[in-house]
Amino acid sequence: MSLVGRWKIVEAIRFNENFEHEWVPVETILADEDIDPQDKSMYSSFMDFTEDGRVLNLAPLPDGVSQEEIDEAVKAGQIELYDGYMKLTEYNWKTENGKYYLDTNIQGEVLGEEVSPWIEIPVIDGKIEIMTFRIAKDE
């Protein structure tokens, strides 16, 4: 399996009525009228794994925003565009010993020992899990 390509969010960890974590399909989350529209917009973002080891978290431009407003935001450095989408964040990824890893960009130490910013990307049933999201290749 290759990570190179576009991956979309298909499930997210949410709390159920018993305050337990469970994986919920994105369609269910988007259909929930109690969830803030701005929070819902996060679920339309996706990750683009590039051959050069970058992971770009991208999102569609908001509805109702003019090209002039977009151009002004880019010029002011408020947003960065990539392939017609807003770039939210950028990380690095790598393959090592047959496993995939993501550079979280988090630096620090625990009990006086430096902690690696690289975390393993679990592969489960053809999907990958990153933080609270389960994502699938958008083919």
In tens digits, the chain (139 residues) has pLDDT values of 889 999 999 999 988 888 898 999 999 988 988 888 777 778 888 999 999 999 999 998 887 888 999 999 999 999 999 988 999 999 999 999 999 999 998 888 888 888 889 999 999 999 999 988 999 998 7
Contacts of 120 (CB under 8 A, 6+ apart): 99, 100, 101
The pLDDT score that the predictor gives to residue 90 is: 93
Mark residue 44 as left, alpha or beta (left: phi above 0; alpha: psi -120 to 50; beta: remaining).
alpha
- Would you say 119 and 130 are in contact if contact means Cβ atoms under 8 Å apart? no
- Tokens for 71, please give them: 């151009």
The pLDDT score that the predictor gives to residue 83 is: 87
Nearest C-alpha neighbor of 30 from the set 19, 13, 22, 42? 42
- The pTM for the full model equals 0.82
The pLDDT score that the predictor gives to residue 65 is: 86
End-to-end CA distance of the chain: 13
Long-range CB contacts for residues 26-29, cutoff 8 Å, separation at least 24: none
